[in-house]
A and B are shown apart, each in its own frame.
Chain A
Amino acid sequence: MLEVMKATRLFGGLVAVNEVSFTIFPNEIFGLIGPNGAGKTTLFNLITGLTEVSRGEVLYKGSKISGLKPHQIASRGLSRTFQNIRLFGNLSALENVMISQHTRTSSGLLGGILGLPKARREERQVRDEAMTLLELVGLSDRAENEAKNFAYGDQRRLEIARALALKPELLLLDEPGAGMNTNEKAGLSDFIRQIRDQFNLTVLLIEHHVPLVMGLCDRIAVLNFGQLIALGTPESVQNDPAVIEAYLGDA
């Protein structure tokens, strides 16, 4: 599904991501963990095109996506959420979810202004689908509220709904559980599995909360100082000496 091949990113003299390679298989829930500053979010940005790779390649379904613009990558079916939530704050929840159906719709300037039948039909569909997704994340009763007025956890869920509206095949979640309590995190696990099955997704997620990752992910990659130090099932990664050292330090 997704192949990261020796992806490298330099920021000046700092090697943020250093020759990282791994492959994600279809329908997998793949976890990316590592201490703060390990390069997880940078790697996300490399995959989604927000940051260019300095060296290496990213392949999606066999074709190269590194070097493409973010919107081109998104239109191929990769969608993401952000660690520091980036909703369209002054727009309503509904509009947020309608916006990310952009690549799947085609109404142009004149169609929208003149209200041509095709554009109106499309508009209705977009609205209906957005409402369905808001229902899925439990926010449909507040569809008209501005996104910035939502509670933190609700914003995270709204961001997932927005990402799903793109109808992605690969969903990248950057710390979806950040700021949630233990109960909410348990619910989040179920929810991620549910949307994986319902929308036939492959999921790549960054998460700090170890029990969540261990219980949810099929495989895990561990980054430390920009390097991939372990890759495998949760059990094998948990017992890997390199991982233990990275997290607990050299005793």
Chain B
Amino acid sequence: MQEILNQYGFLIIQMTFAALMGLSMYLPLMAGQLSLASPGFYALGGYIAAILSTQQFAVERGQLFPLELLLLEMVIAGVVSGILAVIIGVPSLRLRGIYLALATIAFVEIVRVVPQNLEITGRAVGIFGIPQPFPGRTEFLGLQVNQQLSYGLIAFPLLIIVAFAIYRLERSRVGRAFAALREDELAAAAMGINPTYYKVLAFVLGAILAGMVGAISAHFINTWNPRQGVFDRSIEYLAFVIIGGSRTFVGPIMGGLLLTALPEALRALAGFQSLPTSLAQLLAESRFIIYGLLIAIGATFFPQGLISPNLFKRRKERKA
């Protein structure tokens, strides 16, 4: 058990981050806004953490980075992302549907290109040697946990808290305002809901989450560069939501977990020796082809995604 967990530590944490990023795409979608901005805020959060931890909070070599400072970085990344999201959101959320998606792609590109040309972000090379808050081995609940899996101490509670918060949000006044906007913006406005306010709010919530995940990711992968938040990621996160399901928060979580584990599973499949080399190579390196296929197949046969609200409803009715 311990062996397996540690062996797949990196993947488990990556899957958790992916689920969180799926949720950060899901938040604007709750209010009907197709935003692809999450990777931009993710990159921004990562840079904030990388710069703060390597340049501001001086930690001597070989020493552990204090956990409180990591949490502080996440808060700062969240706040900065949130403020930037307000500034970007107010003008760009006047756009609808595909135009909003395009505007947010432009934002993601800006966050990619600007650090490439700034000294403080290490230009194209990026920032190296981001200090680690966890030792090589930690004892947790009687398990010997390696450095990578230790990030679960932050990532797992974060995922649980965020998922629970969204669950509660969907059953509250603000969540209903989001849902009304998603269903029919004009009718929602006629019923007294301020479209701009709630669209920006949903966008900002997604940005805060993406920024926070970026901050912890920077420590997790130890280095940060302009390749972290690119347009490919937008599509990847969008796939989490579309394939997982966009009508309940469980969808993007499942999508993030499954689709992140998928390449590993494919790689394992490719490892079988009886496979022809070309097929093995395809399985090992064709993540995006398979994502593309899954999106196309998913959109055709499961338009609501793998997890739809009716899935829960029917189960409830069956019990009744």
* A and B bind: yes
**Chain A contact residues, CB within 8 Å of chain B:** 48, 50, 69-71, 74-75, 79-80, 82, 86-91, 95, 98-100, 102-103, 105, 107-109, 111-115, 119, 122-123, 126, 162-163, 166
A162 CB to closest chain B CB (Å) equals 7
Contact call A166/B191, Cβ cutoff below 8 A: yes
List, in ascending order, chain A residues with CB within 8 A of B183's CB. 88-91
List, in ascending order, chain B residues with CB within 8 A of A71's CB. 189-195
Q: 25 A-B Cβ contacts within 8 A?
A: A69-B189, A70-B186, A71-B189, A71-B193, A74-B191, A75-B192, A86-B184, A86-B186, A88-B183, A99-B179, A99-B193, A100-B191, A100-B192, A102-B192, A103-B192, A109-B169, A112-B172, A112-B173, A114-B168, A115-B168, A119-B173, A122-B173, A123-B172, A162-B191, A163-B191
B106 on the A face (CB < 8 A): no
Alpha-carbon distance between A70 and B189 when the two chains are bound, in angstroms? 6
Alpha-carbon distance between A162 and B184 when the two chains are bound, in angstroms? 14
List, in ascending order, chain A residues with CB within 8 A of B191's CB. 71, 74, 79, 99-100, 102, 162-163, 166
B187 on the A face (CB < 8 A): yes
Q: Mark B52-93, 1 if CB is under 8 A from A, else 0.
A: 000000000000000000000000000000000000000000
One of B171, B180, B194, B201 near A99 (C-beta < 8 A): B180
B181 CB to closest chain A CB (Å) equals 9
Alpha-carbon distance between A233 and B27 when the two chains are bound, in angstroms? 52
Enumerate B159-205 residues with CB–CB distance to A below 8 Å. Answer: 165, 168-169, 171-177, 179-180, 183-184, 186-195, 201, 205
B190 CB to closest chain A CB (Å) equals 5
Quick one: closest B residue to A78, CB to CB? B190
Alpha-carbon distance between A126 and B205 when the two chains are bound, in angstroms? 25
One of B172, B187, B192 near A113 (C-beta < 8 A): B172
Q: Which of B172, B187, B192 has the most CB of A within 10 A?
A: B192
If A82-B190, A100-B191 are given as contacts, then 13 extra A-B residue pairs at C-beta distance below 8 Å, sorted by A number, are A69-B194, A70-B186, A71-B190, A71-B194, A87-B184, A88-B187, A89-B183, A99-B191, A103-B192, A111-B172, A112-B168, A115-B168, A163-B191
B123 CB to closest chain A CB (Å) equals 39
Alpha-carbon distance between A112 and B189 when the two chains are bound, in angstroms? 21
Contact call B174/A109, Cβ cutoff below 8 A: yes
Quick one: closest A residue to B310, CB to CB? A146
Q: A71-B189, A79-B191, A102-B192 are in contact. Are A95 and B176 (CB under 8 A)?
A: yes
Contact call B174/A108, Cβ cutoff below 8 A: yes
Contact call B192/A74, Cβ cutoff below 8 A: yes
List, in ascending order, chain B residues with CB within 8 A of A80's CB. 190
List, in ascending order, chain B residues with CB within 8 A of A166's CB. 191-192
List, in ascending order, chain A residues with CB within 8 A of B205's CB. 109
A77 CB to closest chain B CB (Å) equals 10
Contact call A48/B168, Cβ cutoff below 8 A: no
One of B173, B188, B189, B190 near A107 (C-beta < 8 A): B173
List, in ascending order, chain B residues with CB within 8 A of A69's CB. 189, 194
List, in ascending order, chain B residues with CB within 8 A of A126's CB. 173
Alpha-carbon distance between A162 and B177 when the two chains are bound, in angstroms? 14
